[in-house]
Amino acid sequence: MQEFLQYFFSGLTNGAIYGIIALGFSMLYRSTDLINFSHGEFVMIGALSMVTLTMTLKIPVIWAFFIVVFGVGLLGMVFERLAIRTVKRPEPIVLIIITVGASIFLRGAGMLVWGKNAQSMPPFTPHPPLDIAGARLLVQSIWILVIAILIAACLHLFYRRTLTGKAMYACAINKQAAWLVGIPSKMMILLAFGLSTGMGAVAGAIIAPVTMPAYDMGAMLGLKGFCAAMLGGLGSLWGSLLGGFLLGVLEAMGVGFVSSGLKDATAFLLLLLVLYFRPQGIISAASVKRF
Amino acid sequence: MKYRNDSGINDNRAEKRVLPFTDNRQPDNIYPMLRIRNLKCFYGQIMAVKGITLSVKEGEIIALIGANGSGKSTLMASVSGLLPTWTGEILFEGKNLKGMDPPAVVKSGISLVPEGRLIFPPMSVYDNLVLGAYTRLRKKAREDVQQAMETVTALFPILKERFSQPAGTLSGGEQQMLAIGRSLMARPRLLLLDEPSMGLAPLVVEKIMDVLELLRSQGLTILLVEQNARAALTIADRGYVFETGSVVLEGSADELLADTNVKRAYLGKDYEEFDDENR
């Protein structure tokens, strides 16, 4: 039981991370019909710049966090403006290849800026791990969980309550119709990129204390986040979060009870199963649309 | 009558008569609200509209009729800003629409009810309507939008009953009403409708046409594209008949309704019926 709980906690923590990354994928897909395969790289930049800001520049964690999120969001907008909008024939396949290219570019840039070594920083709050029924829960894990759920809730409110959120959603449903009613769809796409990459930076910033971030962490995180998004049904916000948790917990159980070699295989096995049996994701399409 | 003084056109009747465009078929001298001259629209190398000239005066209902692929919808796409690849001249209240994207066209006072309605199915009816007023809400014209909402719900009470329902669950006729209502939320002075009767039962079509007449009586100008030529010509003042990208016939709605060629081609009467009528 104690062992199970320990795996469950670590799974939950990883799951929250996958969930936030999946949210980034989902919200971008929801607003632009595009999958940004360089999303993981924005997570990496978020994590590494968080380390630089807090460790080298000694900026307080809370300020560093906001600077990182806004900075990376801005970077995402620049990426959209320079690499996505300038495409003459914006067919999905072309755009996806561009995002793959961007991921290689950003990884290289990350290596040049931060070097090949893994970095590290202390947790946000220096508190000893909690002891729950014999299993230990890091305080940073609680931070991660709370922030993940907070972000999903904020996004939910954004789409439900604000005019910009509704307009963005309308763009995703039918770009032409949205354009015709007077919604500047280019602005919305730019904004969606900013929000999505900013969310990636959130994921990066909150895992920086627990993962030893390095320039090449983005690829795997991006893929796991993509798996989680597919699991929950691409485009569904709560589905993405749920997919992230599911993936995280299953992965942890696989590592704990079967073999540690299974860690990454779990994600891809799950992805294959989902694509085969429920390509619309575990949350059915109808409820996804209603979200 | 509203004229833009910053557009270089002087609101002076005497001068207006001198302007190159005067509609000789109608004796009144109202300067056209929308004026299209020698419009040619291109999809790549293909010319879909081959030099069309037409005019819409304030307070008129104009019907564009013609078969599939005759260029009616292409013309609508050009006016609404969806299709940027056109040459010629489209003047709205004296202002050239060249180079405007759809949001800019909406802001200048033209709204399109697109073919196939293009509502946002997963969103609630209310949200659909609110988004119709997007350009106005951006300008913080909240009271104005509230008023527009009341006008629209007075026009289509059914929409108010369905406010919180996802728009996709509405019936075809209700969806068309929603599409029209959404366009009206932007408070346009010229309303473009592309095939509003598509796929609707005759009774519903009648209802929609009644609403259009009512809107006109409230001062809205309407440009209507229709396959259902009879329904359109019944409420229209004037009409243009399109064929393969050109206007082949134009005239008052009554003239067109009575025209033998129009009857045969667009009103679905065959030769026998003509014989009956002519007897």
Q: Is A271 or B268 the better-scoring residue by pLDDT?
A: A271
Task: Quick: pLDDT tens for A168-187.
Answer: 989 888 888 999 999 998 89
| pLDDT score of A229 more than 60 | yes
Distance CA B276, CA B270 (A): 10
Structure tokens at B217: 């009586």
For an interface test with B, the pick among A180, A185, A189, A287 (most B C-beta atoms closer than 10 Å) comes out as A180
Q: Which residues of B touch A174 (CB under 8 A)?
A: 118, 120
In the structure, how many helices (H) and strands (E) does chain B have?
A: 13, 10
- Please give the pLDDT value at position A33: 79
Structure tokens at A17: 């991370």
- Please give the pLDDT value at position B17: 37
Q: Which of A166, A183, A290 sits opposite B103 (nearest CB)?
A: A183
| pLDDT score of A200 more than 90 | yes
* Residue B268: band (very low, low, confident or very high) from pLDDT cuts 50, 70, 90: low
> Which alpha helices (H) appear in B94-228, and where do they start and end?
102-108, 125-132, 134-138, 142-155, 157-161, 172-184, 202-217
Q: What is the mean pLDDT of residues A44-53?
A: 96
Q: Which residues of A touch B139 (CB under 8 A)?
A: none
- In chain B the beta strands, taken as DSSP E runs, fall at 34-43, 46-56, 61-66, 86-92, 95-96, 110-113, 190-194, 221-226, 238-243, 246-252
* Residue A80: band (very low, low, confident or very high) from pLDDT cuts 50, 70, 90: very high
* Residue B205: band (very low, low, confident or very high) from pLDDT cuts 50, 70, 90: very high
CA dihedral sign of residues A153, A155, A158, A160: negative
| pLDDT score of B127 more than 50 | yes
B110-113, strands of its sheet edge to edge:
B110-113, B190-194, B221-226, B61-66, B238-243, B246-252
Residue B120 lies in a domain: no
Q: Which of residues 211-270 of B touch A (CB under 8 A)?
A: none
- Please give the pLDDT value at position B272: 56
Q: Which residues of A touch B130 (CB under 8 A)?
A: 163, 166
B126 part of contact set with chain A, CB < 8 Å:
no
* Residue A238: band (very low, low, confident or very high) from pLDDT cuts 50, 70, 90: confident
Q: Which of A170, A182, A290 sits opposite B106 (nearest CB)?
A: A182
CA distance to partner chain A, nearest, from residue B166 (Å) = 8
Report CB contact under 8 Å: A176, B114. yes
With beta carbons less than 8 A apart as the criterion, state whether B40 and B74 touch: no
Report CB contact under 8 Å: A181, B122. no
Q: Which of B82, B121, B134 sits opposite A181 (nearest CB)?
A: B134
| pLDDT score of A126 more than 90 | no
Distance CA B104, CA B273 (A): 48
The 10 Å CB-count burial string (b at 16+, else e) for A32-63 is bbbbbbbbbbbbbbbbbbbbbbbeeeebebee
Report CB contact under 8 Å: A167, B134. yes
For an interface test with A, the pick among B79, B123, B126, B185 (most A C-beta atoms closer than 10 Å) comes out as B123
Q: Which residue of B has its CA nearest to A288?
A: B122
CA angle (B149, B151, B153) in 5-degree steps: 65
> Which alpha helices (H) appear in A87-138, and where do they start and end?
92-114
For an interface test with B, the pick among A162, A181, A290 (most B C-beta atoms closer than 10 Å) comes out as A181
Report CB contact under 8 Å: B186, A177. no
B84 part of contact set with chain A, CB < 8 Å:
no
Locate tokens 């802001």: which residue?
B107
Distance CA A243, CA A230 (A): 8
Residue B40 lies in a domain: yes
Q: Which domains does chain A have, with CATH numbers?
A: 2-115+140-290 (1.10.3470)
Name the residue range of residue B203's domain. 5-109+188-278
B155 part of contact set with chain A, CB < 8 Å:
no
Total Cβ atoms within 10 A of residue A291: 17
- Please give the pLDDT value at position B278: 53
Residue B170 lies in a domain: no
Interface of A with B (CB under 8 A): 163, 166-167, 169-170, 173-174, 176-184, 289-290
Residue B16 lies in a domain: yes
CA distance to partner chain A, nearest, from residue B113 (Å) = 8
Residue B140 lies in a domain: no
Residue B94 lies in a domain: yes
Task: Quick: pLDDT tens for B6-30.
Answer: 444 444 433 333 334 444 444 444 5
Task: Quick: pLDDT tens for A254-288.
Answer: 888 888 888 888 888 888 888 888 777 776 544 34
Q: How far is CA B81 from each of CA A32, B175, B277, rounded to the nearest angstrom?
A: 21, 23, 44
Q: Chains A, B: CB contacts under 8 A, how many? A: 69
Model confidence, pTM: 0.81
Report CB contact under 8 Å: A182, B119. no
Distance CA A44, CA A104 (A): 12
* Residue B277: band (very low, low, confident or very high) from pLDDT cuts 50, 70, 90: low
Residue B142 lies in a domain: no
Q: Which residues of B touch A188 (CB under 8 A)?
A: none
Number of domains in chain B: 1
Report CB contact under 8 Å: B114, A181. no
Distance CA A75, CA B125 (A): 36
CA dihedral sign of residues A52, A58, A60, A63: negative
In eight-state DSSP terms, residue B221 is: E
Residue B135 lies in a domain: no
| pLDDT score of B267 more than 80 | no
Residue B272's CATH number: 3.40.50.300
* Residue A71: band (very low, low, confident or very high) from pLDDT cuts 50, 70, 90: very high
Q: Which of A177, A179, A184 sits opposite B120 (nearest CB)?
A: A177
